[in-house]
Amino acid sequence: MQGFKFDLTNFIPFRDVEVCKRVKRIKKEQIRNHPNPKFKIEIIEKPEDFYFEFALDIVTRIRQALEKGKKLVLILPAGPRCLDRCHPMTFREKRSKITARYTKPVRIRM
């Protein structure tokens, strides 16, 4: 593949190739080491653990917005396997007494 040069995709506005190369070299063991104490990075190895934490985060944000009387806008992934993966959200939602009456689903087709 002589002459082929990898490049950053055009639809992402951040185009600093050197910064991207530097970040790409960061090892998993080093990823948590950064100067901003407010930015928490957690490594989640198992997909099922990731989806549980993802669903729990969504439910927590919904509950916090309801308690504060604020609106919350979420852009969520959708697809044939999304409901299966986010099953813990359904369980947690029932326990938190958060119901569909607080949500307005919107489908965006591209």
What are 41-59's pLDDT values in tens digits?
888 998 888 888 888 888 8
46 within a domain of the structure (yes/no): yes
Is 6 part of a structural domain of the chain? Answer: no
Q: Which residue has the higher pLDDT, 58 or 106?
A: 58
Neighbours of 96 (CB within 10 A): 13
Residue 9 lies in a domain: no
Outline where 1-110 has alpha helix (H). Answer: 17-24, 47-68, 82-85, 87-96
Whole-structure pTM value: 0.55
Task: Give the count of domains, the chain.
Answer: 1
- Contact between 58 and 66 under an 8 Å Cβ cutoff? The reply is no
pLDDT attached to residue 50: 84
Q: What domain range is 86 assigned to?
A: 17-102
What's the CA gap between 66 and 97, in Å, rounded? 11
pLDDT in tens, 57-68: 888 888 899 889
- State the chain's mean pLDDT as an integer: 76
Please write the tens of the pLDDT for every residue from 19-42: 999 989 999 889 888 889 898 888
Dihedral of CA 19/21/22/23: which sign? positive
Q: CB-based contacts of 74: which residues, under 8 Å, 6+ apart?
A: 58, 61, 62
In a domain, 28, yes or no: yes
Q: How many CB atoms lie within 10 A of CB 93?
A: 19
